[in-house]
Structure 1
Amino acid sequence: MGTYTTAELSVDVTGEKRDLLTLLQDQRNMLKITARGLSDADARKQTTVSTLTIGALIKHLAHGEENAARVITERDENAEFDMSQAMTEYVMGDDETIAGWLAEYDRAALGLDRVIAGAESLDELIPQPTAPWQPEREWSSIRVMIMHLIRETAHHCGHADIIREALDGQTTMGAISEGQDWAEGWADQDWAQ
């Protein structure tokens, strides 16, 4: 399977589980590349008209993976999305570090991967928390939950890439291709021509 990064899995899975978790791991790696070499101050820096920061995006996605694992394992048919918690996820506080959130992201990812590896079937239906945008209880398969995380992570990788490029010019694809013979001059091309 073609990936942008070396997407090694921490769990032993095969088939569709392996394919989905490999794609998710590749997106996780892409996000972490945007944080490479950042100071805590830079990880908190807003570089666009948005209030998003790289540190806050990693914090948000760490919570998202942890929440997904909990939703799968607890299967609470009365769960409600915690809006007050969600509002704190988009800020990396002064007492928080980028290294701490990267470690938390890895821990949450490992936890989710273990839950997925242990799932009997990706077809298992899991009750989803209700939310203001989803007031009626819905049930999603574990497969759909993983696909949602892949989409969510990819979406925020784009945000993080723009934030990082505005900070110091680094792009994720440029960072990936750095030092590769095939990429000489590729990352520096003016693609707008």
Structure 2
Amino acid sequence: MTMTSERADLIALLDRHRGFLRFTVRGLTDEQAASQPIPSTTLSLGGLIKHVSATEHSWVTFATGGAAAMQAEPNDWVNGFRMVEGETLAGLLADYEKVAARTDDLAATADLDAAHALPEAPWFEPGASWSVRRVLMHIIAETSQHSGHADLLREAIDGQKTMG
């Protein structure tokens, strides 16, 4: 399949926001990445990497197999936003790279207009469907939003900022 400018733009935008997220954790130790520097939350930088990776994986599974495939995937609601014993920042980043490669392949090759009905959830309009294109835009939005969260956490750890 030919790489259209739309496909290239989707991949480039997603990769840019992934890059911001990865840049935010540069030079951190596992202990810093696992720390929860904001008292009102259990968020950690490693946990955000883990969450964004899992979310991207889940939505790509939806885009390729529909709601049933997405819901069949395991989801750790308790530990999804934090690093647990045995996890390392390097390991989480490596997992994220694998997920990113799968998403990029989807963006480069899938029918962007192919759609599936969304799973039933209070935050989705009943009976709504999302195309692969819409899923990719959602992944971009999720990644961008969590990159902002990561920037705040990093600044709380050691004063470093992704930008500025």
CA distance in 1, matches of 2:125, 2:74: 13
**Corresponding residue of 1:116:** 107
1:107 aligns with 2:103: no
1:40 aligns with 2:7: no
Letter in 2 for 1:106: E
What are the ranges of 5 or more consecutive residues in structure 2 without an aligned counterpart? none
Letter in 2 for 1:168: D
Going from structure 1 to structure 2, the CA distance change for 1:132 and 1:84 (only over 3 Å counts) comes to: farther
CA distance in 2, matches of 1:100, 1:79: 23
Larger relative contact order, structure 1 or 2 (CA cutoff 8 Å, min sep 6): 2
CA distance in 1, matches of 2:37, 2:159: 11
Is 42-51 or 12-21 further displaced after alignment? 12-21
Deviation at 1:14, TM superposition (A): 2.6
Letter in 1 for 2:36: Q
Is this contact kept in 1: 2:49–2:93, CA < 8 A?
yes
Q: TM-score normalized by structure 2?
A: 0.88
Going from structure 1 to structure 2, the CA distance change for 1:79 and 1:150 (only over 3 Å counts) comes to: closer
CA distance in 2, matches of 1:111, 1:78: 16
Name the one with the larger helix percent.
Answer: 2
Count of matched residue positions in the alignment of Structure 1 and Structure 2: 162
Letter in 1 for 2:10: L
Q: Which has the larger radius of gyration?
A: 1
Deviation at 1:102, TM superposition (A): 0.3
Going from structure 1 to structure 2, the CA distance change for 1:77 and 1:39 (only over 3 Å counts) comes to: closer
**Corresponding residue of 1:52:** 43
**Corresponding residue of 1:150:** 140
1:23 aligns with 2:10: no
**1:18-75 deviation digits (Å, cap 9, x = unpaired):** 1111111000000001110111110011111322110000000111111122111112
Q: TM-score normalized by structure 1?
A: 0.76
1:93 aligns with 2:77: no
CA distance in 2, matches of 1:30, 1:65: 16
Going from structure 1 to structure 2, the CA distance change for 1:134 and 1:78 (only over 3 Å counts) comes to: farther
**Corresponding residue of 1:67:** 58
Letter in 2 for 1:101: L
Going from structure 1 to structure 2, the CA distance change for 1:77 and 1:41 (only over 3 Å counts) comes to: closer
Aligned-residue CA RMSD (Å): 2.2
**1:98-124 deviation digits (Å, cap 9, x = unpaired):** 00000000100001111221212x222
Deviation at 1:149, TM superposition (A): 1.0
